Amino acid sequence: MELYSYFRSSAAYRVRIALELKGLEHTIVPVNLSTDQQRAQHYLLNNPQGLVPALTLDSGETLAQSGAILEWLEETHTDAPLYPQDPVQKAQHRALCQHIACDIHPLNNLRVLRYLSGPLALDREQVNGWYAHWITLGFKAIEDAVETFGTDFSLGKHPGMLEVFLIPQVYNAYRFCIDLSPFPQIVALDERCQHLPAFSKAHPSNQIDFPGA
């Protein structure tokens, strides 16, 4: 499999973590978002949505959207399940993932930030304030949920899909110097994950394709 990925893309980082948790061999194909390679014609032929990640399967098809890729991985590689078995718990687990993927991440995507600083002429401080606002608002619900686990990870002894979505979002929060002191549970969960080989292998610092980008 080939994963089209940018090292700092949190959506691509989700897929990198899941591939590592499931122990699946893959090759990283770098797409440099800082030079808009995601909009280059050859990339659009693969993924007309012009976003990373995209995953080209051994059978030749290319999948877009991290959520769709992760569901495909979960359905086709069932050995290391990333959701709870119980349907209600599974829906609750999915709700947390979607809160990150649908209600936090899209508001802070690169093209949104570029629109704020470009056509809307917001300065850096205002853009950073926007970024912090949506993460802080969104993390409140996640913090409460993590507190109720009473276990090291969302699946007890193992991380699951929640960590696949959350840890890249925490990385973004650190990158934008957001105050995470109101979220001690999230910070502690992130630290536990960082000690696991799957998460360290998938970390952006291990995909340094574009120094200085």
Ligand X SMILES: N[C@@H](CCC(=O)N[C@@H](CS)C(=O)NCC(=O)O)C(=O)O
Residue ranges binding ligand X (CB under 6 A): 9-11, 33, 38, 51-53, 65-67, 101, 109-111
Nearer to ligand X, 156 or 174 (CB): 174
Tokens 């893309």 belong to which residue?
9
Beta bridge partners of 156: 153
Nearer to ligand X, 118 or 156 (CB): 118
Closest distance to ligand X from the beta carbon of 172 (Å)? 9
The alpha carbon dihedral of 149, 153, 158, 164 has a sign of: positive
Nearer to ligand X, 61 or 79 (CB): 61
Closest distance to ligand X from the beta carbon of 67 (Å)? 5
| Cβ-based neighbours of 16, under 8 Å, separated by 6 or more | 3, 5, 28, 201, 202, 207
Closest distance to ligand X from the beta carbon of 170 (Å)? 14
Contact 40, 46 (CB under 8 A): no
Closest distance to ligand X from the beta carbon of 192 (Å)? 24
Nearer to ligand X, 93 or 105 (CB): 105
Cis peptide bond upstream of 87, omega within 30:
no
